[in-house]
Amino acid sequence: MTVGNIPRHVGIIMDGNGRWARKRRLPRSLGHRAGMNRMIGLISRAKQSGVKYLTLYVLSTENLARPRKELDGLFNLLRKYFDDNVKKLYAQNSEVRVIGDLSVLPPDVRLKLIEGEENSPENADFCVIFAINYGGRAEILNAAKRAAEAGEDISEEKFSSLLYTGGIPDPDFIIRTGGELRLSNFLIWQAAYAELYFTDVLFPDFTDELFSSALEEYSHRNRRFGKIEDDK
């Protein structure tokens, strides 16, 4: 499906893997594996659709308090993803970025993520941003500390440049699967004027077609940014 008015930057809160597994009487780890496979598909679809930036909420700062067993499974999936897929992204001229506090992750995972970012092409025509141990509040606090250290007067633009997402335009469209109606600490500064889209579909069931329908809905949204209709 081709749609007009494509969002430049899309964020996805990929929620519902655990419930997807429970419905099938499978362990949660298999839900996360199914979610990872779906994520791979959506990265391609987003690029084909003309999206320029895709931010994927992989793991929140709060998720780090989950049981060790679940986290170990998630880290294994990340290891595998970065080993198997990142070079394919480079080959398609896609840039890889990682946002979040990587310092507390297992060292080998941290290294893979940093290398994934460092080896990625420059001037790419598509950028995938993985939010890992990411929290909007932690990000804002970190930027505030850097601003205080610099000691200069600070503008919204300057502050934005100090966030993990420095240099990346704000998200135009945020999709959350899994039925919850909240942001759960995702891009809370950057989402000020994002269009929000919530669906009950659990992430592993969020097909390319459903993603395209969400983009189609975005194309009909009327973004006013506080102005009145005639102002445009």
Backbone torsions φ then ψ of 154, nearest 5 degrees = -125, 140
Query: In the chain, which ranges are continuous DSSP H helix?
Result: 17-23, 28-49, 68-91, 107-118, 136-150, 156-162, 208-219
Q: How far is CA 150 from the centre of its chain?
A: 29
Q: For ligand IPE, which residue of 82, 178, 204, 215 counts as binding (CB under 6 A)?
A: 178
What is the number of alpha carbons within 13 Å of residue 86 lying toward its C-beta?
22
Q: Which one of residues 7, 13, 14, 15 is an interface residue with Mg ion (CB under 5 A)?
A: 15
Q: How far apart are CA 134 and CA 14, in angstroms?
A: 13
> Which among 8-16, 123-131, 167-175, 205-213 is the span making contact with Mg ion, rule CB under 5 A?
8-16
Among ligand IPE, Mg ion, none, partner that 23 touches (CB below 5 to 8 angstroms by kind): none
Is 13 a residue that touches Mg ion (CB under 5 A)? no
Taking the C-alpha atoms of residue 81 and residue 52, their distance in angstroms, rounded to an integer, is 21
Shortest distance, CB of residue 185 to ligand IPE, whole angstroms? 8
Segment lying near ligand IPE (by CB under 6 A), choices 93-101, 165-173, 180-188, 224-232: 180-188
> Which of the residues are catalytic?
15, 63
Residues that bind ligand IPE (CB under 6 A): 13-19, 57-60, 62-63, 74, 178, 180, 182, 184
